[in-house]
Amino acid sequence: MYQNVIKSPHLCLPMQSLSTNYLDELNPVQRQAASCIEGPAMVIAGPGSGKTRVLTYRIAHMIHEGIPPGQIMALTFTNKAAREMKDRIEVLVGSKAQRVWAGTFHSIFARILRVEAHKIGYPNDFTIYDTDDTKSVISEIVTQLNLDKKLYAPTVIRARISSAKSNLITPKAYAANEELMAYDRMNRRPMIFQIYEKYVARCQRAGAMDFDDLLLQMFRLLYQNPDQVREKYQQQFRYLLVDEFQDTNTLQYEIIKLLVMYHGSTHNICVVGDDAQSIYSFRGATIENILQFENDFPDLQTFKLEQNYRSTSYIVNAANEVINHNKRQIQKKIWTQKSEGNKIKINKSMTETEEGKRVADMIIEQKNRFNLANRDIAILYRTNGQSRIFEEQLRRYNIPYRIYGGFSFYSRKEIKDLMAYMRLTINDKDDEALKRIINYPKRAIGDTTIKQLAKLADDNNMSMWEVLTQIDFNSRSRKNIGDFVELMRAFKAKAAKANAYEIATYIYRNSGIEKLLKEDQTIEGKERVENVISLLDGIQEFVQDDEVQSGEEASTDRSLSAYIQTISLMTDADDNKDENPDHVSLMSIHAAKGLEFRSIFVVGLEENIFPSYLSMTESQQIDEERRLFYVAITRAEEHLCLSYANSRYQYGQVRYNDPSRFIEEISDDNIDAIISITKKPTFAEPKILGNFKTPGLQSPKLNIDPSQFVASDPKEIKVGMEILHLKFGQGKVVAVDERLVATIVFDALSENKEKRIMLQFAKLQILS
């Protein structure tokens, strides 16, 4: 199956008949894929193999051979990709390229529906609902049905309706599907099918389609009108091309088949993609579309683009080793003619903070040794919540960076909301924080009341908090405002006697934010909860850190006020993104797909993080996590570092995770020595931020002469032994657990004498 040969050579134009030499710019397989334009074809394009180039040249070749541009439809997943495709084609064939129907599934189908929508009961000038419109309609229906608005949150219901539409499940079919209904009953939402039914009726009555409808109604249009409409567009679009085919969902593929099946014979279709880069199942994409494509098109010609033009051989070899662990795949082996380059580095750190410091150290090292610019470097992680520690470390080194595929950690709404509560807790004159949270979560204090409050504050030269506590409001608002004032007073009282982590956790649980965020069970909702947990973990680390700096000396202040000050110093600086495009890129691996960098750091490579704990129950989900890792490592051109920490804060507790199984799937032949020591770089001094020394980078004051220190074998350290530590001095081992984490009491420490230290990395000298 899927041999790298042309099954029907007579369908291809003879190479010698070409009157132009532009195809000579392609390698042999690329040239075959671009020139065989009749019948069904599939191009399996490995990473860095010139996929876009083949797609562009194929369309240019069609136009050059006399096919009218208006008969070519090219479906993409981004408008940017479509624009770039047209621009490249125009370089080859001129302005005719602009007449090709190239665009996203949604934009192309909306264009057709503007002409044909009346045939399925919609006006041709239908409205397109965005996400907010959809949620507003759903909210009104929930109210109309007298349902619990917390259980039937619009975001949750919208996600269920979207999933149903993507799988061609109508409201009637939804109600008849026992599996779907049982799932809803289990989650105490048995009325979703009724909401779905009413939502569809409301949209049709309003002459509106949401984004999912642009696909679903296109399918209806073609399916219900085989003679008038379907045949019309089958004849108009004689050539159909689909980019990133592995990312299509069930509905998209069904539309594709309706467009290319003509009187029982196959039309001319070319799909381009890579099953090894199928990573969007959470959006409804199904890898089955590309794996089973040959079943629908038995005369398929398959071309495998296996030469990688991006990465060095060590990276390419590692990618092959990893993906070969997936059993269900189209077999291929990517290769490269680029030099061997640098072996893959493994960064093994004791804690997540050490991981962040070491990655920042290595970035400085690479910039100095290999003359890399910041823009040549990217840090990739499994979830956006992992960016925090790397943002902090890059700021400490004054390395400019930018967050892609999401907001900067401290700019995310859920983080700003919780931080606003904390800010108002320690400073009740912070009007901006008050305005942000006085009605979040909703407590029936409307915009009119907030505007009145702000005006009274201005008129009387008072803070808004003073107005709240000194001026009586009308009876409708009095109770709600009073409840908010009492809530904030409780937070203030708690903050007076609690450390930063205790009060932050207390605010999260008692403000209503925790309950509100956890009600949203969508992928985005769960990620928002993970982001808040990551913030709380950072605060817990702040509380337990022995080296928190304040001014010139280490501080023992672990209050909420001290934490807010620390964070403010790190986040107040202007980004100047437009003025300084040279920045390190931070992004999730999903956001990195299609990009490439000279140097890549893949971080947080631990079991239960990457692969995610959500994937542990099913082999197919592990396979997708492995494909995600494959995408991550193949973004690298020259330098690749895989990084993990033995311990990190998760949900307020120190958790110990094993290294990711994906690291173990790479042979030693492709791996450099493991890096496991964090040290201050000698090749570039970090700058000073304001009046504060960069925390955590100064050498500690040693209790003994390091030249006389000899570390003992960690396996020999037992309970009861007297030991010596370079930083903490002499101590006694009082416990050793099954993970070889020792509890040691150090004599010289004035407080927090008891330390938990991993023996594997501790460097302890046995005294007796």
pLDDT tens string 515-524: 999 888 877 8
344 C-beta neighbours (distance < 10 Å), count: 23
pLDDT value, residue 570: 54
CA distances for 336 relative to 5, 42, 339, 584, angstroms: 20, 22, 8, 27
Among candidate residues 116, 212, 213, 243, the one labeled active-site is 243
Residue range 30-55: average pLDDT?
Answer: 93
- Biggest distance spanned by C-alpha atoms of the chain: 92
- The answer to whether residue 670 scores a pLDDT higher than 80 is yes
What are the helix (H) ranges across 117-210?
A: 131-144, 154-166, 171-176, 178-186, 192-206
State pTM to two decimals: 0.71
More confident residue, 716 or 310: 310
Among candidate residues 38, 52, 197, 469, the one labeled active-site is 52
User: Could you identify the residue written with the tokens 């009600």?
Assistant: 519
Most confident of 85-94, 184-193, 717-726: 184-193
- The answer to whether residue 302 scores a pLDDT higher than 90 is yes
- The answer to whether residue 575 scores a pLDDT higher than 80 is no
Identify the CA nearest to 126 among candidates 37, 191, 213: 213
Residue percentage of the chain with pLDDT more than 90: 46
Q: What is the mean pLDDT of the chain?
A: 83
Residues paired with residue 731 on neighbouring β-strands, in sequence order: 723, 746
Answer whether 259's CB lies under 8 Å from 237's CB.
yes
743 C-beta neighbours (distance < 10 Å), count: 16
More confident residue, 463 or 53: 53
Range in 211-220, 658-667, 693-702 with the lowest mean pLDDT: 693-702
Reply yes or no on whether 96 is catalytic: no
Answer whether 624's CB lies under 8 Å from 278's CB.
yes
Quote the distance between the C-alpha of residue 44 and its chain's center.
Answer: 25
CA distances for 643 relative to 361, 377, 469, angstroms: 13, 15, 51
Among candidate residues 51, 158, 165, 348, the one labeled active-site is 51
Reply yes or no on whether 277 is catalytic: yes
User: Could you identify the residue written with the tokens 């099913």?
Assistant: 618
Among candidate residues 30, 104, 252, 277, the one labeled active-site is 277
C-alpha–C-alpha distance, residues 609 and 645, integer Å: 11
More confident residue, 211 or 681: 211
Reply yes or no on whether 78 is catalytic: no
- The answer to whether residue 68 scores a pLDDT higher than 50 is yes
284: left (phi over 0), alpha (psi -120 to 50) or beta: left
Residue range 733-760: average pLDDT?
Answer: 75
Residue range 283-299: average pLDDT?
Answer: 91
Among candidate residues 210, 244, 306, 361, the one labeled active-site is 244
C-alpha–C-alpha distance, residues 126 and 113, integer Å: 9
C-alpha–C-alpha distance, residues 654 and 676, integer Å: 19
C-alpha–C-alpha distance, residues 197 and 194, integer Å: 5
Residue by residue, DSSP assigns 498-525 as S-HHHHHHHHHHHSSHHHHHHT--SHHH
Residue by residue, DSSP assigns 436-489 as HHTTSS--S--HHHHHHHHHHHHHTT--HHHHHHHS---HHHHHHHHHHHHHHH
Answer whether 672's CB lies under 8 Å from 342's CB.
yes
Burial degree of 175 (CB within 10 A; 0-12, 13-18, 19+): middle
Q: Read off the pLDDT of residues 112-125 as tens digits, 9 standing for 90 and up.
A: 998 899 999 988 87
Among candidate residues 388, 635, 648, 661, the one labeled active-site is 635
In this prediction, residue 228 has a pLDDT band, given cuts at 50, 70 and 90, of confident
Reply yes or no on whether 635 is catalytic: yes
Residue type, 278: S
- The answer to whether residue 8 scores a pLDDT higher than 50 is no
pLDDT value, residue 464: 82
